[in-house]
Amino acid sequence: MKHTRIIVTHYGGPDALQVLEEECPEPKDGEVRVRVLAAGVSLPDLMMREGVHPETPPLPFTPGWDLVGVVDRLGNGISVLEPGQMVAALPISGAYAEFVCLPQRELVPVPSGLDAAEAVSLVLNYVTAYQMLHRSAKVRQGQRVLIHGAAGGVGSALLELGRLAGLEMYGTCSPRGASAVSGLGGLPIDYRQLDFVKEIHRLTGEGVDVVFDGIGGTHIWRSRKALRPGGMVVAYGLTSSLRGGRLASGRSGRRHRFREIRIFALYIAGGWLLPGRKRVVPYSIQWLKRLRPALFRQDLIALFDLLQRHKIKPLVAQRFPLAEANQAHELLGKVGVTGKIVLVGNGSSLESGTA
Ligand SMILES: NC(=O)c1ccc[n+]([C@@H]2O[C@H](COP(=O)([O-])OP(=O)(O)OC[C@H]3O[C@@H](n4cnc5c(N)ncnc54)[C@H](OP(=O)(O)O)[C@@H]3O)[C@@H](O)[C@H]2O)c1
């Protein structure tokens, strides 16, 4: 049987994504073949396509951090899962495919009846948001937080979960994202027109308790200035390394990959050494999952439960067929995308989990 997957053939723009038809993979011992219903498209995918993300695999590779699908075939030694069961995974790469083989331990059961595109929004974006709120910052009801990129995938997840936690929320966004941010309970700040540090101090007086900064670079330092004494910046991304979905510097992604991490480390050290008791702490979903896999599983199951009980409703910006992954990347590179872009498997454009 043939299947389709997307490969990145060289580092570069959306045209680096090619559609490949090949034999369907067979599960090895301990593996499960999953038919992908929905694969998330996120900025880390664009960064890998440009070769700038530290997790970028060697070329050629199939991108795709997160997926929701249906168990299709079991390799030898699989006892817990059954064909037809809906599952989710965070393989970090490989999800842009019709079929994927993954070790059983990577798969988390998805409750039946959930929409695959909404469910996949939880795997990378909402787990990231949930863990930053409750494991890194350990937020308490009534605290003030500033969320950068608040209309984006992770940003909108932080808003939705922050509202459930009873936080007072401010969110930077471009004007097109403002209504989404206020709809999710945040006060929008137009980062293109306003200095967010001045604006936060004007609105709050001494500053916020926590800033969630996925922008990275020197932006982290400005975020630190928006904190009250004793506050914390959770630094988790490098959105500033891209402009219009392409490498902002114009330099090769591979040479850039570790420079940004060194800047990160400098700011984290500075946060400890400088006066003001203002800390900068890093967050990485992939490292937390590698070091504490049970926490990833536990948090994703908690989020599926919230989705099933209609406590959260992820924003799905747009659904694209798998073969149009390049168009999905074009769209994500544009200003003002609200929520998560999702690739759906061939012929399953609006498929919901009914397994
Ligand atoms: N550490 C981790 O474990 C982890 C996990 C997931 C994601 N990430 C990182 O998180 C970041 C966000 O990912 P995503 O998938 O949520 O991206 P996304 O959906 O594209 O959202 C990014 C948002 O940032 C906004 N933005 C761009 N420049 C900005 C600035 N200077 N100030 C304020 N907002 C700005 C964009 O708004 P406009 O388009 O309206 O300008 C966009 O809404 C990325 O850097 C990604 O690598 C990290």
Give the residue, by CA position, lying nearest to ligand 1 atom 35. 149
- CA of residue 187 to ligand 1 center, whole Å: 18
For residue 342, the model assigns a pLDDT of: 97
* Mean pLDDT estimate for the chain: 91
For residue 277, the model assigns a pLDDT of: 82
Q: Looking at the predicted structure, is the pLDDT value of residue 128 above 80? A: yes
Nearest atom in ligand 1 to 240's CA: 28
Going by C-beta distance under 8 Å and a sequence separation of 6 or more, which residues neighbour residue 172?
Answer: 146, 147, 148, 149, 150, 188, 189, 190, 191, 196
Any idea which of 11-20, 89-98, 267-276 has the lowest mean pLDDT? 267-276
Please, which residues bridge with residue 307 across strands? none
CB-ligand 1 contact for 215 (6 Å cutoff): yes
- CA of residue 268 to ligand 1 center, whole Å: 20
Best residue for ligand 1 mutational test, from 136, 199, 239, 280 (most atoms within 8 Å of Cβ): 239
Of the candidates 178, 118, 123, 189, the one whose C-alpha atom is nearest the C-alpha of residue 151 is 178
* pLDDT bracket for residue 211 (50, 70, 90): very high
Reading the block at residue 131, the tokens are 């863990």
CB-ligand 1 contact for 78 (6 Å cutoff): no
For residue 344, the model assigns a pLDDT of: 95
Instruction: Please check whether residue 169 is in contact with residue 195, taking contact to mean a CB–CB distance below 8 angstroms.
Output: no
Instruction: Please give the average per-residue pLDDT across 41-61, as a whole number.
Output: 94
- CA of residue 1 to ligand 1 center, whole Å: 38
Q: d(Cα 234, Cα 328) in Å, to the nearest integer? A: 28
For residue 297, the model assigns a pLDDT of: 98
Nearest atom in ligand 1 to 285's CA: 3
- CA of residue 351 to ligand 1 center, whole Å: 27
- CA of residue 244 to ligand 1 center, whole Å: 12
CB-ligand 1 contact for 153 (6 Å cutoff): yes
Cis bond upstream, residue 188 (ω within 30): no
Q: d(Cα 111, Cα 107) in Å, to the nearest integer? A: 13
- CA of residue 107 to ligand 1 center, whole Å: 26
CB-ligand 1 contact for 342 (6 Å cutoff): no
Instruction: Please give the average per-residue pLDDT across 74-85, as a whole number.
Output: 93
Of the candidates 280, 275, 145, the one whose C-alpha atom is nearest the C-alpha of residue 204 is 145
268 membership: H or E segment, kind and range: helix 253-273
Q: Looking at the predicted structure, is the pLDDT value of residue 346 above 70? A: no
- CA of residue 237 to ligand 1 center, whole Å: 7
Contacts of 113-116 with C-beta under 8 Å, sequence gap 24+, read 113/308, 113/352, 113/353, 113/354, 114/86, 114/304, 114/307, 114/308, 114/352, 114/353, 115/352, 115/353, 116/37, 116/38, 116/68, 116/69, 116/86, 116/344, 116/348, 116/351, 116/352, 116/353
CB-ligand 1 contact for 237 (6 Å cutoff): yes
Of the candidates 298, 301, 278, the one whose C-alpha atom is nearest the C-alpha of residue 288 is 298
Any idea which of 12-26, 100-114, 262-276, 288-302 has the lowest mean pLDDT? 262-276
- Residue 306: helix, strand or coil by DSSP? helix
Q: d(Cα 228, Cα 89) in Å, to the nearest integer? A: 38
Any idea which of 161-170, 185-194, 232-241 has the lowest mean pLDDT? 232-241
Instruction: Please check whether residue 212 is in contact with residue 135, taking contact to mean a CB–CB distance below 8 angstroms.
Output: no
* pLDDT bracket for residue 351 (50, 70, 90): very low
CB-ligand 1 contact for 217 (6 Å cutoff): no
Reading phi first (left if > 0) and then psi (alpha if -120 to 50, else beta), residue 347 is in left
CB-ligand 1 contact for 283 (6 Å cutoff): yes
